[in-house]
Amino acid sequence: MNILIATDKFKGSLTAREACTAIASGLQQRYPNATIRLAPLADGGDGTLAVLGEYLHLRPRQISTVDPLGRPLMATYLESDGTAYIELATASGLVLLQPAERNPLRTSTYGTGLQLRDALDRGIRKLSLLLGGSATHDLGLGIAEALGVRFLDAGGLTVRPTGGRLPTIRSIEPPAVKPWEGATIELLCDVDNPLYGPRGAARVYGAQKGASPRMVEQLEAGAEHLSALLMATTGVSVAELPGGGAAGGIGAGLVALLGARMTGGFAFVSELSGLHENIDWADVVVSGEGQVDDQSWQGKVVGGVLEHCRRAGKPLHLLVGRNALPDDGAAPSGVASIRDIMRVAPDTAAAVADAARYLRVLAGAVAVVDAG
């Protein structure tokens, strides 16, 4: 029997590799004669950089930059064969701020822009920016600022872009020499939310970045204003761009200003990992993530794995931290079973602290049919 384990990270507890390894240990105890293959996965959000290292020979590059509030920070990106892989969260991530510091009206992606600038100045012509975990809502204007783009108010004075300053920007001036010319900038994204509106960046993700309801309305107004200004300046319409609302509108801003292109993060990583071939090889597939909910089927790892399994006619078992699906956690078509750590852990703190042990226990309870 061939078993493929292809999981996402368990955020705050385990990397994708650690989760795969824990599940493999539990399955191997129950099925000692099974052949088990591990394929750690990611969807383009935070944690993707570590997974890329599973499949590519990457070299680290550490530089001095700044965090979302402009404080000095050392951050690392990876490179290989003329491509730089930069994870937004390393310089502009929510994890860099204390809860009381979270305020998308004040934060900027300038620190991530310094990482892109470093790669471009060193002659790298392909950049993959991994979106997710953002503390910002500046539409990526901070990144563009680090690359030489100027943003001006009605009086012609320079504006340092943050979420709260978007409405004050009245004109955009590109630099005489554009460091991104001739380069390919790819945005790896795990959501399809538009820039603004009911499913837009501010209304869906603003609260987790520290925005109050009033602040959400301010961010929404700023995004609408910038959308119109970007259209007038660049001729690129981003108001309804799928994924334009990712990471506080970075998708919209960088597509318009830098000619970046959006790419599905899961599709990118799954191709690198050979997921299609691995599922063809497997008799049974096991996947998982920290929490399975309605969003899990839309661009996330478990949803992508499920689609591959459905096409291949292979059973899929899910092991997750928490099952937050409606209808009492009922599994969708194609999922043979869902087991979650919170069913066996005494509380959330124990589930997070000892996730590997609980995954081994859950894996040992997975009932699979020997197809071979």
pLDDT digits (tens, 9 = 90+) for 176-235: 999 999 999 999 988 889 999 999 999 999 999 999 999 999 999 999 999 999 999 999
Dihedral (C-alpha) 21, 26, 30, 33: value to the nearest 10 degrees? 10
Residues 138 and 258 in one domain: yes
Whether residue 296 is contained in a domain is answered as yes
Residues 99 and 154 in one domain: yes
Residues 17 and 62 in one domain: no
Residues 141 and 250 in one domain: yes
Residues 241 and 288 in one domain: no
Q: What angle do CA 165, 170, 173 make, to 5 degrees?
A: 105
pLDDT of residue 329: 67
β-strand pairing of 284-287 with 171-173:
unpaired
The two most distant CA atoms of the chain are separated, in Å, by 74
The CA distances from residue 344 to 5, 10, 320, 354, 359, in Å, are: 21, 16, 12, 11, 10
Instruction: Give CA 72 to chain center in angstroms.
Output: 24
**Residue range 72-80: mean pLDDT, rounded:** 95
* CATH code for the domain of 92: 3.90.1510.10
Q: Which of the listed residues 265, 286, 310 is the one where a domain comes to its end?
A: 265
Neighbours of 311 (CB within 10 A): 12
Q: Per-residue pLDDT for 370 more than 80?
A: no
Neighbours of 302 (CB within 10 A): 24
**Residue range 131-151: mean pLDDT, rounded:** 96
pLDDT of residue 369: 60
Whether residue 134 is contained in a domain is answered as yes
Residues 132 and 254 in one domain: yes
| Placement of tokens 């830098």 in the chain | 258
Burial class of residue 328 in the structure, from the number of CB atoms within 10 Å of its CB (0-12 exposed, 13-18 middle, 19+ buried): exposed
Residues 53 and 191 in one domain: yes
Residues 55 and 196 in one domain: yes
pLDDT of residue 245: 95
Q: Are residues 126 and 116 in contact, defined by beta-carbon separation less than 8 angstroms?
A: no
Q: If DSSP codes are grouped into helix, strand and coil, which group holds residue 171?
A: strand
Residues 75 and 154 in one domain: yes
Residues 18 and 92 in one domain: no
Residues 57 and 85 in one domain: yes
Residue whose C-alpha is closest to residue 65's, from 120, 117, 107, 28: 117
Give CA–CA dist 338/334, Å, rounded: 11
Q: By mean pLDDT, which of 147-156, 220-229, 321-330 is the weakest?
A: 321-330
Whether residue 270 is contained in a domain is answered as no
Q: Are residues 267 and 243 in contact, defined by beta-carbon separation less than 8 angstroms?
A: no
Whether residue 271 is contained in a domain is answered as no
Number of domains, the chain: 2
Q: Per-residue pLDDT for 118 more than 60?
A: yes
Residue 365 amino acid letter: A
Domain interval for residue 117: 48-265
pLDDT of residue 372: 39
Residue whose C-alpha is closest to residue 273's, from 41, 45, 18: 41
Whether residue 346 is contained in a domain is answered as yes
Higher pLDDT, 214 or 295: 214
Q: Are residues 253 and 140 in contact, defined by beta-carbon separation less than 8 angstroms?
A: yes
Q: Per-residue pLDDT for 83 more than 50?
A: yes
Higher pLDDT, 328 or 243: 243
Q: Residue 371's pLDDT band (boundaries 50, 70, 90)?
A: very low
Give CA–CA dist 164/219, Å, rounded: 7
* CATH code for the domain of 360: 3.40.50.10350
Angle between helices 16-30 and 355-364 (to 10 degrees): 40
What pTM value is reported for the model? 0.89
Whether residue 89 is contained in a domain is answered as yes
